[in-house]
Structures are given as C-alpha cells and as structure tokens.
Amino acid sequence: TLGSPTQRRPGSRQRFVADLSQCLFDFVVQLLPTQEELAVKEDVRKLLERLIRTIEPESRLLSFGSTANGFSLRNSDMDLCCLIDSEERLAASDLVTMLGDLLERETKFYVKSLPHARIPIVKLSLDPSPGLPLGIACDIGFENRLALENTRLLMCYAMIDPARVRTMVLFLKVWSKRRKINSPYKGTLSSYGYVLLVIYFLVHVKNPPVLPNLQQMPPLRPISEEDTHLHGHNIWFFDDIELLRQRWHSDNNESVADLLIDFFRYYSRDFPYNTGVASIRSGLLKKDSKGWQNDLSNQRYNDARERNRLCIEDPFETDFNVGRCVTKDGLYTIRGEFMRASRILASRPERAIVALAELCE
Ligand code: CTP
Ligand code: MG
C-alpha cells in the first residue's frame, strides 16, 4: 500500500531513510569482488609484469583505477600502468607493439594493441574460467604517473570515511552503469567523473563537510617544489590518513541515505551546469575564469562549447576537464537520470528496497 506522503504516519520519513541506508550497505556488499577474484587479478598482474620485463628489464607494472582505489566492483576491469625506471627506454608506441606481439605469442589473452592512440595502450581480455566467471578485461598504459597519483588521492578519500564514501561511490557506479550513463565514448561520464562529483559534493557542498579538502591541508613539514610537482602539476595532498583520523573528524552525521538523496537533489537542481566548474581542489569555479567557455554567440567557440557542457576539473591536471566527453544529449540524459532518482527517493515508496530496485531498473 503506497499512500501519498502526506497520509503517512509521522516518523515514516526517518524510518524510510534508515531502511534505505541499510539497504544501500547490503546492496553494495554483495557487489564487492570476491577474495578469489582479487587473487586471480594479482596473479595476472604478476604474470604480465614478468613478461614485460623480458622487453624492458627495469619496468614495473602497477594497478590504478578501481582495482587500486577502493571503489572496485565485482568483475570491474583492470587498469595497469607500466613504469620504466631506466633513462634509456623505448618509445611508448614501440613498446605497445612489441608487448602486444609478445602477449599474443605467450599467453591466452585476446590482444589488441593501440600504438598510435593519444595514450598508447595494449588491451587484453580473457574468456571466463572457474576463478573468473566473467572473464577479465585489462588495459596496459605507460608512464601514466598522474593516474597513479589521482588513484592514491581517491583511495585516501575512501579511507577517511569508508562507510559513507565507498557506499555512495559504489552505489553510484552501479546505478550509472545500469542506467547506461557511464560511457565516455557515447557522450556520458566515466566512473572517474562520477567519483569526482561525489567527492566535490562531500567536500564543498555539504555543510558541515563530510570530507576535508586533502589538497588544501597544510603539510606537516615543508616540502620542496620538486617533491610536489609532476610534469608541472601540483600533485601534493595530505596522505597520512592514520594521523588525519586522529586529528580531524566530520561534524556531519548524516546517514548515507540522507547524503545520497541530497546528492541527487543537488545535481538535478542546484549545480550551475551552464557556468560552473566542479573542482575538488578549489570548490565551485567559473567556466569563464578557466577559459572553458560555452558562449553561444561565437562560432569560434563551438568546439569548446561542445567539450565543456559539464565541467569537472581534474584534481592535478587542472587544465583538463574530466567531463569533456559529455555531449549536449549526454548531459541532458544524465540530468534526466538525476531527476528521476530524486523523484523516486522523494516519493518514498513504503519499502526502501523497492525504491532501490526501481532506481537501478
Ligand atoms: N583516469 C584519468 N582521467 C580520466 C579518466 C580516468 O586519470 N579522464 C584514470 C584515473 O586514475 C581513474 C582510472 O583512470 O582512477 C580509471 O578510470 P575509470 O575506469 O573511469 O574508473 P574506475 O574506478 O576504474 O571505474 P570502473 O570500475 O568503472 O572501471
Ligand atoms: Mg577502470
């Protein structure tokens, strides 16, 4: 029996929100990767590292993305980055070609090398097996040190308040995939983009904030310019999470369901899509001040406008818009989904589990 909200007993709102929080935890837990899956992935990483070292003995193969930042779902792909410590090294494109050939000869992976892509990578996939019932998909890139650092930043944010941050992020990842708005190649947003939207919301929108701004906290001791910069980008952030847990605590006690409801409301109604840039480093910025115009009148800016419908500043590469893949239609769809989610949660069906199922339909 789904009475209208006004007919409900007082306290039903609190009950709905408490139930929703519990449902969110339960829902997310069953989507986490199994120990077995993690072990198989680590074995794959080691195997690939061993093979790459036959070409570049000084190389290391490191995980980044969801496998390394605490936001991994069952069967998510593996993002690997090859770092080469020697001075004399092959060009990335040559390495990609050689590695692709080697893996094709020596392993059972399906291999696709993209030596001439903007970022040269080797794509691998493996058919399902007992340890990996859904197979595996893996991208190997080279020297992407900024991605390793932004992975570490997201991991630190996840560790500060795992119960709320990880639950929200994991839920939004599943939700955005089920609602088909998680495809940068089709004009919507990457998982990385959604994670940044969540952190932006928890650091800069919520008051009191749920998370501190790790990039603006004072360092414990002076650090040289050289140690904080990579390719001209300031990559410093407060990463001593143990210490942070002792010294900082959030005055925001909202439940994960409260935060999620508010998240959907904020991004369906309040975020200034036309003029604003969400920056986890600096808060709300103006498109104008970053040169990310969306001036309708000027022909010259047409391309810029298409790329800057949804503006999310990368935490380190501050001249890079993580939302640049989002098209006009894509943004329309994404906002439509935020509104739909808001509506479902505001209509408060009697049971939270029903609301959750409808959300992810
Ligand atoms: N990344 C980046 N810049 C982007 C997109 C991604 O630097 N514009 C890097 C980030 O380090 C990110 C990683 O690539 O953590 C993986 O991105 P993505 O696949 O979007 O996120 P995952 O957390 O791996 O999500 P999924 O489980 O959906 O693969
Ligand atoms: Mg990934």
Q: What does the alpha-carbon distance between residue 317 and residue 236 come to, in Å, rounded to a whole number? A: 12
Q: Residue 81 CA: which ligand is closest?
A: 1
Tell me the ipTM for this assembly: 0.98
Nearest protein CA to atom 6 of ligand 1, as residue:
192
Calculate how far, in angstroms, residue 52's C-alpha sits from the geometric centre of ligand 1: 23
**In angstroms, what CA-CA distances link 25 with 131, 255, 284, 353?**
25, 11, 30, 11
pLDDT digits (tens, 9 = 90+) for 106-157: 999 999 999 998 888 999 999 887 767 788 999 999 989 999 999 999 999 9
Calculate how far, in angstroms, residue 79's C-alpha sits from the geometric centre of ligand 1: 8
pLDDT digits (tens, 9 = 90+) for 49-71: 999 999 999 999 999 999 999 89
Q: What does the alpha-carbon distance between residue 294 and residue 307 come to, in Å, rounded to a whole number? A: 9
Residues of the chain with CATH 1.10.1410.10: 161-211+250-359
Ligand 1, CB cutoff 6 Å, lining residues: 64-66, 69, 71, 73, 76-77, 79, 147, 150-151, 173, 190-192, 322
10 Å Cβ neighbour count for 305?
Answer: 17
Cβ-contact 225, 236 below 8 angstroms: no
Cβ-contact 86, 142 below 8 angstroms: no
pLDDT digits (tens, 9 = 90+) for 171-223: 999 999 999 999 999 999 999 999 999 999 999 999 999 999 999 998 888 88
| CA neighbor of 231 nearest in space, from 117, 158, 319, 128 | 319
Calculate how far, in angstroms, residue 298's C-alpha sits from the geometric centre of ligand 2: 37
> Which residues are CB-contacts of 3 (< 8 A; sequence separation ≥ 6)?
350
Residues of the chain with CATH 3.30.460.10: 35-144
Q: What does the alpha-carbon distance between residue 144 and residue 131 come to, in Å, rounded to a whole number? A: 29
Considering the segment(s) 161-211+250-359 as one domain, its CATH architecture is Orthogonal Bundle (1.10)
Amino acid at 206: K
Q: Residue 71 CA: which ligand is closest?
A: 1
CB-based burial, 24-55: b 16+ in 10 Å, e otherwise: beebbeeeebeeebeebbeebbeebeebbeeb
In ligand 1, which atom is closest to the CA atom of 148?
Answer: 11
- Tokens found for residue 260: 């999620």
CATH homologous superfamily, domain 35-144: Beta Polymerase, domain 2 (3.30.460.10)
Calculate how far, in angstroms, residue 66's C-alpha sits from the geometric centre of ligand 2: 5
